[in-house]
């Protein structure tokens, strides 16, 4: 039986289906191929999937996809919609047939795209195609034309974009995503279309020259000029009345990372310049210490592209190869449909997708940056998914990943041993990794856990109301090798705690926050610590409290605090109204000062970037 893939758009669909089904006569049956025929010689038990799609989706229908036994005959058929004409079949970005009825023998899995032109012919009203030749390619490269027509090329040879350009129209081909381990350069990639197809765009790929962090220089950064303890360096913007409403993104949900060039890098969950015809769903940005922000990469939902992600959330990690590594919370283009994607980006902005994420096999919703281990691998957590995802909610995983994107699942939480890991892992002095969960455990209030690089998991502490709960932001290794962290809620004063735990599991409270100080009915104290602590170069811990203000009955703006190893806490600065109260942590820059993000606040209430002077 012929497998039928279609989208209902108008009455002509029904007519085409009736005609095709009548011609096929039903077909099907066990042990037969997708066309209902036994393969020559009886065939084998091996079967392959033939996947068909249309480009653009509105251009027409495709028929003949499905599962075929090895050696079976298959025919991929394309029927254009009204106002469109069939152009060609492609696979991996390369043209394989110009016949709307493409017959072939199935000897492997096939992924074919039927290309349709909007018009009646090869030129004139329908325009001309833009393409050229690629050489030296060993992986996959993603190209764009005029910022909107996306093409993934996976083999050397000729290529052509599916969207035609009218005579006299301009074209500008760009590289959207470089192939893994290679660097490609374009030539003759822009110009005006004449009276024939453009075929001279050249793409030459070669093995990438790997930079080390020593190749970058931060000495040219301007010195910090700031008089107050707190300064907003950048306000993200949002204007709902215009299409390009957040050109540099909005809602930075996680911490920054400093590069060897002295700049800071981060992600936003939403926004980006909507200039391609696709929805922009987050950006990677770079900020100088002076607060100048530029967009390095914009994430788009691209229905016709290969693996690509949207909505980065977890922040970035600098790898040993001096590239930035991160994940997205959503993704498209994988098989089966991925729940996220892992990417790598050079400090020049060349981005490569390394691997899809799957809610069962790897977990999903990575909410915190990866941790680079001393063994050269990355270690991270997912807040959902894993082996127990279908049985319990909010479980999550711990995983290991190489620089090439090869992921190994180390542990699946099952609520009895914790659930929903709630911060990045930290490597202890013993070479093991430590983290926290916000749910599960003996009291259902979360846990502190240890996991070895091989995946052996141990619960060190189950949080309860007395110790505080909802541990937030992970742990930090203190000067004596013990682990320090924060719990947002409860504790002796019902306002959150700072705790210490040894690698052997000996737990103690270091500080209990208190909203009411000196008998005043006010919000003068601190409460609800959020994000990981930072052990600064002066030997003190620094962190953020969401609760706290500079006087009675004032805004609930939050503050940055300083804490000694013994637990003595003082306020470094209170956040101003509309400042950075919704922050998940700070980092200490190489200049000694603290930098952070806020996912709300600012002039348009969609986030800020700020600096805190070290006292």
Residue pLDDT, tens place only, 447-464: 999 999 999 999 999 999
Query: What is the pLDDT confidence band of residue 524, given thresholds at 50, 70 and 90?
Result: low
Is residue 108 pLDDT above 70, yes or no?
Answer: yes
Of 62, 91, 118, which marks where a domain is finished?
A: 118
Q: Are residues 37 and 132 in the same domain?
A: no
> Between β-strands 110-118 and 47-55, what pairing exists: parallel, antiparallel or unpaired?
parallel
Give the model's pLDDT for residue 162: 83
DSSP strand E in 393-482: where?
397-401, 407-412, 419-421, 426-427, 433-439, 447-451, 457-462, 469-471, 476-477
Give the model's pLDDT for residue 93: 65
Average pLDDT estimate for 398-410: 93
Q: Are residues 91 and 46 in the same domain?
A: yes
Domain count within the chain? 2
Mean pLDDT of the chain, nearest integer: 83
Give the model's pLDDT for residue 401: 94
Q: Are residues 3 and 113 in the same domain?
A: yes
Cα 399 to Cα 102, 366, 408: the distances in Å are 43, 11, 6
Q: 284 CB contacts (<8 Å, ≥6 apart)?
A: 265, 266, 267, 295, 296, 297, 312, 316, 324, 326, 345, 349, 351
**Does some domain include residue 433?**
no
The answer for 313, left when phi > 0, alpha when psi is -120 to 50, beta otherwise, is: alpha
Q: Are residues 76 and 6 in the same domain?
A: yes
**Does some domain include residue 52?**
yes
- Note the pLDDT tens digit of each residue in 59-98: 788 988 888 888 888 999 898 887 777 878 888 766 788 7
Average pLDDT estimate for 35-58: 65
Cα 157 to Cα 33, 345, 434, 502, 615: the distances in Å are 31, 26, 49, 59, 60
Q: Which of 196-205, 272-281, 387-396, 550-559 has the lowest mean pLDDT?
A: 550-559
CA atoms within 13 A on the CB side of 614: 20
Q: Are the C-beta atoms of 131 and 158 separated by less than 8 Å? A: yes
Residues 560, 540: Cα–Cα separation, whole Å: 13
List the domain range (segments joined by +) for residue 197.
122-209
Q: Are residues 26 and 126 in the same domain?
A: no
Is residue 549 pLDDT above 70, yes or no?
Answer: no
- The sign of the dihedral angle between the CA atoms of 55, 56, 57, 62 is negative
Q: Which of 299-313, 366-380, 420-434 has the lowest mean pLDDT?
A: 299-313
Q: Where are the alpha helices (DSSP H) in 243-321?
A: none
The proportion of the chain whose per-residue pLDDT surpasses 70, expressed as a percent, equals: 83
Residues 456, 572: Cα–Cα separation, whole Å: 40
Of 174, 209, 244, which marks where a domain is finished?
A: 209
CATH code of the domain covering residue 139: 2.60.40.10
Q: Are the C-beta atoms of 486 and 498 separated by less than 8 Å? A: yes
Average pLDDT estimate for 21-49: 44
Phi, psi at residue 258, to the nearest 5°?
Answer: -95, 135
Q: Which of 20-29, 144-153, 323-332, 529-538 has the lowest mean pLDDT?
A: 20-29
**Does some domain include residue 341?**
no
Which DSSP string corresponds to 521-572? SSS-SBEEEEEEEEE-TTS-EEEEEEE--SSTT-----EEEEE-TT--EEEE
Query: What is the pLDDT confidence band of residue 194, given thresholds at 50, 70 and 90?
Result: confident
Of 152, 182, 209, which marks where a domain is finished?
A: 209
Q: Are the C-beta atoms of 178 and 352 separated by less than 8 Å? A: yes
Give the model's pLDDT for residue 507: 96
Average pLDDT estimate for 272-299: 87
Most confident of 33-37, 474-478, 571-575: 474-478
**Does some domain include residue 318?**
no
Is residue 337 pLDDT above 90, yes or no?
Answer: no
Q: Are residues 167 and 202 in the same domain?
A: yes
**Does some domain include residue 587?**
no
Q: Are residues 130 and 112 in the same domain?
A: no
Residues 570, 572: Cα–Cα separation, whole Å: 6
Give the model's pLDDT for residue 20: 37
Q: Are residues 38 and 142 in the same domain?
A: no
**Dihedral angle at the C-alpha atoms of 590, 594, 600, 603, nearest 10 degrees?**
-90
**Does some domain include residue 72?**
yes
Q: Are residues 114 and 127 in the same domain?
A: no
Q: Are residues 188 and 205 in the same domain?
A: yes
Query: What is the pLDDT confidence band of residue 498, given thresholds at 50, 70 and 90?
Result: very high
Both tokens of 479, joined, read 């000067």
Average pLDDT estimate for 176-184: 81
Is residue 126 pLDDT above 70, yes or no?
Answer: no
Give the model's pLDDT for residue 516: 65
**Does some domain include residue 43?**
yes
Q: Are residues 149 and 79 in the same domain?
A: no
Give the model's pLDDT for residue 39: 38
Average pLDDT estimate for 486-503: 92
Both tokens of 300, joined, read 């788009």
Is residue 121 pLDDT above 70, yes or no?
Answer: no
Residues 328, 308: Cα–Cα separation, whole Å: 9
**Does some domain include residue 474?**
no
Give the model's pLDDT for residue 114: 86
Q: Are residues 137 and 166 in the same domain?
A: yes
Burial 77-116 (b: 16+ CB within 10 A, else e): bbbbbeebbbbbbbebbebbbeebebeeebeeebbbbbbb
Average pLDDT estimate for 100-126: 74
Is residue 16 pLDDT above 80, yes or no?
Answer: no
Q: Which of 114-128, 306-320, 333-347 has the lowest mean pLDDT?
A: 114-128
Is residue 391 pLDDT above 60, yes or no?
Answer: no
Residues 349, 146: Cα–Cα separation, whole Å: 19
In the block, residue with structure tokens 């084998």 = 44
């Amino acid at each position: 039986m012929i497998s039928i893939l279609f989208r209902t758009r108008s009455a002509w669909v029904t007519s085409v289906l009736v005609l095709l089904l009548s011609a096929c006569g039903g077909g099907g049956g066990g042990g037969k191929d997708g066309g209902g025929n036994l393969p020559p010689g009886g065939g084998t038990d091996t079967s392959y999937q033939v996947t068909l799609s249309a480009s653009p989706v509105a251009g027409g229908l495709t028929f003949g996809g499905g599962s075929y036994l090895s050696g079976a005959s298959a025919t991929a058929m394309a029927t254009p919609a009204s106002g469109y004409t069939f152009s060609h079949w492609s696979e991996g970005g390369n043209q394989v047939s110009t016949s709307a009825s493409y017959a072939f023998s199935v000897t492997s899995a096939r992924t074919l795209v039927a290309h349709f032109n909007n018009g009646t012919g090869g030129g004139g009203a329908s325009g001309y195609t833009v393409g050229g030749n690629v050489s030296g390619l060993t992986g996959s490269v993603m190209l764009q034309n005029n910022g909107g027509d996306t093409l993934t090329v996976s083999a050397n040879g000729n290529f052509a974009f599916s969207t035609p350009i009218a005579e006299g129209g301009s074209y500008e081909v760009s590289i959207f995503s470089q192939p893994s381990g290679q660097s490609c350069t374009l030539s003759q990639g822009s110009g005006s279309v004449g009276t024939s197809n453009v075929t001279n765009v050249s793409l030459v790929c070669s093995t990438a020259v790997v930079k080390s962090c020593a190749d970058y220089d931060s000495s040219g950064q301007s010195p910090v000029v700031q008089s107050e303890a707190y300064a907003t360096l950048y306000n993200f913007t949002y204007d709902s009345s215009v299409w390009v409403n957040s050109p540099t993104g909005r809602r930075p949900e996680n911490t920054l990372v400093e590069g060897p060039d002295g700049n800071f890098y981060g992600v936003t969950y939403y926004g980006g310049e909507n200039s391609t015809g696709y929805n922009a769903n987050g950006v990677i940005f770079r900020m100088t210490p002076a607060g100048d922000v530029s967009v390095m990469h914009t994430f788009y939902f691209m229905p016709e592209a290969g693996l690509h992600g949207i909505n980065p959330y977890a922040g970035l990690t600098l790898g040993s190869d001096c590239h930035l590594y991160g994940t997205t919370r959503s993704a498209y283009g994988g098989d089966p449909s991925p729940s996220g994607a892992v990417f790598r980006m050079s400090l020049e902005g060349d981005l490569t997708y390394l691997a899809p994420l799957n809610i069962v096999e790897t977990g999903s919703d990575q909410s915190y940056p990866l941790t680079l281990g001393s063994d050269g691998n990355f270690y991270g957590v997912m807040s959902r998914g894993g082996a127990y995802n279908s049985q319990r909610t909010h479980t999550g995983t711990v995983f290991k990943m190489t620089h090439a994107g090869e992921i190994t699942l180390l542990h699946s939480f099952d609520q009895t041993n914790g659930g929903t890991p709630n911060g990045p892992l930290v490597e202890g002095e013993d070479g093991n990794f430590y983290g926290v969960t916000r749910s599960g455990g003996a009291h259902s209030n979360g846990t502190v856990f240890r996991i070895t690089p091989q995946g052996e998991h141990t619960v060190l502490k189950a949080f309860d109301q007395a110790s505080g709960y909802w541990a937030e932001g992970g742990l930090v290794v203190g000067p004596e090798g013990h682990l320090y962290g924060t719990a947002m809620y409860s504790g002796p004063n019902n306002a959150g705690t700072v705790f210490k735990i040894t690698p052997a599991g000996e737990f103690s409270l270091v500080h209990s926050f208190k909203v009411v100080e000196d008998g005043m009915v006010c919000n003068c104290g601190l409460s609800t610590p959020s994000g990981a602590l930072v052990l600064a170069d002066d030997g003190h811990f620094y962190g953020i409290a969401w609760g706290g203000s500079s006087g009675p009955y004032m805004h609930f703006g939050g503050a940055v605090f300083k804490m000694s190893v013994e637990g003595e806490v003082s306020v470094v600065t209170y956040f101003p109204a509309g400042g950075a109260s919704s922050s998940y942590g700070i980092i200490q820059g190489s200049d000694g000062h603290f930098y952070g993000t806020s996912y709300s606040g600012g002039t348009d209430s969609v986030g800020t970037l700020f600096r805190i002077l070290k006292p």
